[in-house]
Amino acid sequence: MPDPLHPDAPQTDPARSDALYDELLELALEAARRAGTLLRDGRPADLGVAATKSSPIDVVTEMDLASEKLITGFIGEHRPDDGFLGEEGASSDGTSGIRWVIDPVDGTVNYLYDLPAWSVSIAAEKDGEVVVGVVAAPMRGETCQAVVGRGAFNNGERLRHRPAPPLSQALIGTGFGYLAERRAGQAEVVRRLLPQVRDIRRGGSAAIDLCDVACGRLDAYYERGLNPWDLAAGDLIAREAGALTGGRPGKAVSQELTLAASPALFGQLQPLLDELGAWHD
């Protein structure tokens, strides 16, 4: 139906969009499943000591690369004109208007130490907007997914964020960067925030933390320094579960700051984090 306010704007066929989003979701789910299986079953039992490599990090890097290659290869077979942006270097513009944003192992330190909180994060953008998101956490036996406008689900069960508690009773997730100067600044923010909330958790996978907000396992989550592949899928899943996401007041999520929370709590946390300087080192 033509838009009466913008009669000259190009019209989108809803059925065509639905079919496209269904296709993108199916590909993301299957790619995440395959990559998760590769990572779970291919992880050496002695990765912590990695006797056959110069360091355990070499093995983790190889698994990162193998996972990204599997994902881009699988999707590329089905949609050769799409673009890619991946943590491990996949970068192409494509010609279809679709770009895949991929974190082949989100939570690599957890993966290194055989902690279960690592994930495969795959999002699909259409003309710059994230329309599909999948976060698979194989060691938790969970796959969260969302399509824009259709809600969010975990293993087929619809997700809804937790109703906002008072700030003093809120359980907050966060994460820390790798640079010492940034970590020192983030520690100072935590020092000042902790007395004002129930407690703070550091899970180690931004994608899982965002999904945990969607699942109601966290009341809110914030972090500075996230890249597009860290947050693209999880941000959509959180929003489709009814949470609000954003950065500094008036800004969208970005490397500067990412915040996800139930709406009432979001309104309290965003100005507080801005005051505490969570957006700068």
Does residue 8 form part of some domain?
no
CATH assignment at residue 209: 3.40.190.80
Q: Considering the chain, what percentage of its residues have pLDDT values greater than 70?
A: 90
Q: Classify residue 86 by burial, with Cβ atoms within 10 Å: 0-12, 13-18, 19+.
A: buried
pLDDT at residue 60, as a whole number? 77
Contact 159, 237 (CB under 8 A): yes
Residue 2, in any domain of the structure: no
For residue range 50-68, what is the model confidence (pLDDT) as tens digits? 434 445 556 678 899 999 9
pLDDT, residue 53, reads: 40
Which residue, 193, 239, 189, 232, is CA-closest to 213?
239
Q: 212 and 89, same structural domain?
A: no
Q: Mark whether 152 and 94 lie in a shared domain.
A: yes
Which three-class secondary structure string do you get for 107-155? CHHHHHCCCCCCEEEEEEEECCEEEEEEEEEHHHCEEEEEECCCCEEEC
102 and 23 part of one domain: yes
- Residue 5 placed within a domain: no
Residue 6 lies inside a defined structural domain of this protein? no
Task: Report yes or no on 3 lying in a domain.
Answer: no
Q: Are residues 119 and 23 in the same domain?
A: yes
Question: How many domains does the chain contain in total?
Answer: 2
Same domain, 39 and 146: yes
Rounded distance between C-alpha atoms, residue 229 and residue 50, angstroms: 27
Q: Backbone phi, then psi, for 230, in 5-degree steps? A: -70, -35
H-assigned helices in the chain: 14-42, 56-78, 108-112, 180-193, 206-215, 228-240, 263-276
For 21-33, the pLDDT digits (tens) are 999 999 999 999 9
Write the pLDDT tens digit of every residue in 67-122: 999 999 999 999 999 999 998 888 899 999 999 999 999 999 899 889 999 999 99
Output the CA–CA distances (angstroms, integers) from residue 273 to 191, 203, 212, 244, 277, in the order listed.
Answer: 12, 19, 20, 15, 6
- What mean pLDDT comes out for the span 259-268? 97
pLDDT digits (tens, 9 = 90+) for 193-229: 999 999 999 999 999 999 999 999 999 999 999 999 9
**Is 232 in contact with 125 (CB distance < 8 Å)?**
yes
Regarding whether 192 and 153 lie in a shared domain, the answer is no
Range of the domain at 220: 167-276
For the chain, the average pLDDT equals 91
Does a structural domain hold residue 7?
A: no
Structural tokens at position 15: 């059925």
Distance, in Å, from the CA atom of 138 to the CA atom of 169, rounded to the nearest integer, reads 30
